[in-house]
Structure 1
Amino acid sequence: MPDPKVREDRGDREDLHADCAACFGLCCVALPFARSPDFAAGKPAGKPCGNLRADFRCGIHAQLRDKGYPGCTVFDCFGAGQKVSQTTFGGTDWRRAPETAGPMFAVFPVMRQLHELMWYLTEALGLAPARPVHADLRRTLAHVDGLTRGTADSIAKLDANALRDEVNALLLRASDLARAGTPGRRRNHRGADLMGARLMGADLRGASLRGALLVAADLTGADLRDADLIGADLRDADLSGADLTGALFLTQAQLDSARGDTATALPPALTRPAHW
């Protein structure tokens, strides 16, 4: 039976956490966003957000939700911002060296995907029941890490989608092994459209919810222990009182996009969002 107590030490993954102080505001410039409930104003890729200050900090960071930018509060670069800023481009910022802007903005989205994959691979290495694939996980993690340390040109030319497919197959094997001992019937809702679904108190222990659309779903009091939540869309889902202990591949960004309360049980690697 999957149990968080039998998980191996995954470390704090410090280099896979965003360090905005070491980044040149790349998520505020390199990425596009459209005017929507998530963003009060839109902008194309490569154009700085109107709220970006000269020091690369956000001018409304403490008021993002109040100002109509909740989409910014749930974005996580998994440490890609500082890797591009300080390693790939050696601390040279795009304002002082405008010639670096184009290449830097092209590298950032790819680096973000690589760092996300590294987060999941590191997570999988902490799953004791997945030991049969640990060697493959370690080799793949080392390979992806090596890619992140390439040149700007080599990173920008990577086929990130092909790499993601390769890594996803390995993560799926790790997930299957980790959830194999879950008691009862393990539900398969992979890729399911559960938008607005009434799942209050549902027994989803050990379920596959990979890529499931759970926007605005009612998951209050649901049992999500050891459920695979990789890629699940939890925007505005109600997790009040839900048990997410040991949930697989759950990220902070997913939690930040959802609703919950003090009774929501979380995996130890994640923190309770301030807006809950």
Structure 2
Amino acid sequence: MSSTHSSVRREDLRADCNNCFALCCTAFGFSRSVDFAEDKPAGSPCRHLGSNFSCTVHEGLRPRGFRGCTVFDCFGAGQVVSQQLFSGVSWRERPDAQQYMFSAFKIVKQLHEMLWYLFEAQERTYDPDAAHEARELASTIAALIRGGQAELFSTDIGALHSVVRAVLMEISAEVRASYFAEVDQLDSSIAAGVDLAGSDLRAHRLCGADLRGACLIAVDLRGSDLTAVDLLGADLRDARLDGADLSAALFVTQPQVNAARGNGDTCLPAGVAAPPHWLVR
């Protein structure tokens, strides 16, 4: 498998909360909204956090107004920071290391998300040179994480992200072209970064479309074929995906799917699972 070369597997990019010091419940802040029932400052523990770093209201997060918690995914950064970078010593045991741990978590989450995309890019491209470039970038990122805190904090993450973005865009263009980009070229509304919130896209032929970074909040995609549609960074909150086929869509993540609405007939890419709330109506 291509990801072996980087010493990190795609399976490693999954949250293991039992080996994390609840970093998502502490490092990040949130404001009261439809996704969160209350305010929480960044860098402070959630008031529902238990002494063993577990959520005391985990089974009732959605009914209690914490939908945002059920959408979040750290791509496995939590356990890496907790157990590898900080050697299994929690922020409660070492209050002086708290802010370093939280900062490292935010960085590693970004790096792991890049790895998620790069692993897929290696598998989707038809170009051996492009696959090699994606593989080398994945190896560089994995080595950076293994390098420890000093190397992590001294790295220009923005510059690295720009390099990764360029590779992903190149591979996306290649893959989408192979599906003949069936999206109606006369419809300028179907494009990267556009705001399509609330739109009914069921009548559109979307295969090969570039919807990278698009606002797809509450769009109706029921029954749609999203083969080779680039969804990197697209906002799929409350998007209706019942019966849609995302099995060959590009750069789909678990958080995107968690935020959307689907059912048992929704086809998802390998490595992305239907969230429990899809089946609870």
Residue 108 of structure 2 is matched in structure 1 by 111
1:206 equivalenced with 2:208 (yes/no): yes
Alignment gaps of 5+ in structure 1: 1-7
> Structure 1 residues 47, 184: closer, same or farther in 2, change over 3 A?
closer
1:19 equivalenced with 2:21 (yes/no): no
Residue 28 of structure 1 is matched in structure 2 by 25
Aligned partner letter, 1:20: C
Residue 164 of structure 2 is matched in structure 1 by 167
Secondary structure at the counterpart of residue 180 of structure 1: helix
Report the Cα distance in structure 1 between the residues aligned to 2:141 and 2:53, rounded to whole angstroms.
28
Aligned partner letter, 2:192: R
Which structure carries more relative contact order (alpha carbon 8 Å, separation 6+)? 1
| Structure 1 residue 180 displacement after superposition | 1.7
Secondary structure at the counterpart of residue 176 of structure 1: helix
Secondary structure at the counterpart of residue 171 of structure 1: helix
How many percent of aligned residue pairs carry the same amino acid?
Answer: 46
Alignment gaps of 5+ in structure 2: 185-189
More deviation in 126-135 or 259-268? 126-135
- Matched pairs, number: 269
Matches within 5 A, 1:69-218: 69-183=66-180, 185-186=182-183, 189-218=191-220
Report the Cα distance in structure 1 between the residues aligned to 2:67 and 2:203, rounded to whole angstroms.
28
Report the Cα distance in structure 1 between the residues aligned to 2:181 and 2:80, rounded to whole angstroms.
43
Residue 224 of structure 1 is matched in structure 2 by 226
Normalised to the residue count of structure 2, the TM-score between the two structures is: 0.91
Residue 45 of structure 1 is matched in structure 2 by 42
Check whether the contact 2:181–2:209 (CA below 8 A) recurs between aligned residues: no
| Structure 1 residue 178 displacement after superposition | 1.5
Check whether the contact 2:182–2:205 (CA below 8 A) recurs between aligned residues: no
Secondary structure at the counterpart of residue 266 of structure 1: coil
Secondary structure at the counterpart of residue 178 of structure 2: coil
Residue 187 of structure 2 is matched in structure 1 by none
Check whether the contact 1:130–1:175 (CA below 8 A) recurs between aligned residues: no
Match of 1:244 among 246, 250, 257: 246
Report the Cα distance in structure 1 between the residues aligned to 2:127 and 2:253, rounded to whole angstroms.
19
